[in-house]
């Protein structure tokens, strides 16, 4: 399911980015990476270090024009810890 269907596009605007300490320029200049184990079926996401303490996540299908979820360092570390601990294996 695409991120746009989960969260209203109106929510993703300059205000959202500003609230998270990120500028649109930080997003457009970021180096986005897709997992090497991603397949070609379109169910992929990309991550990028936006600032020293911010990580962005976006849907690859949007080709850079869709919303970006922004996480601070603590949120990102907690998410990665959950992944490594298998907390999402049943999803």
State pLDDT tens for residues 16-58.
Answer: 888 888 988 899 899 999 877 666 666 788 999 998 899 999 9
What is the Cα gyration radius of the chain? 13
* Per-residue confidence band for 1, with pLDDT thresholds at 50, 70 and 90: very low
Mean pLDDT, range 3-25, rounded to an integer: 68
d(Cα 31, Cα 69) in Å, to the nearest integer?
Answer: 15
Are 57 and 25 spatial neighbours (Cβ–Cβ below 8 Å)? no
Tokens of 71: 């996480």
Read off the pLDDT of each residue in 1-28 and give the average, rounded to a whole number: 69
Show the tokens assigned to 37.
């184990």
Rounded to two decimals, the pTM is 0.75
Residue written as tokens 């695409």? 2
* Angstrom distance (rounded) from CA 56 to CA 59: 10
The pLDDT, as a whole number, for residue 13 is: 62
């Amino acid at each position: 399911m695409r991120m746009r269907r989960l969260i209203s596009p109106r929510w993703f605007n300059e205000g959202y980015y500003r609230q998270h300490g990120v500028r649109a320029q930080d997003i457009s200049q970021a180096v986005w990476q897709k997992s090497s184990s991603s397949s070609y079926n379109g169910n992929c996401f990309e991550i990028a270090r936006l600032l020293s303490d911010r990580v962005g996540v976006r849907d690859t299908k949007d080709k850079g024009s869709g919303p970006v979820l922004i996480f601070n360092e603590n949120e990102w570390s907690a998410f990665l810890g959950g992944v490594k601990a298998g907390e999402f294996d049943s999803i």
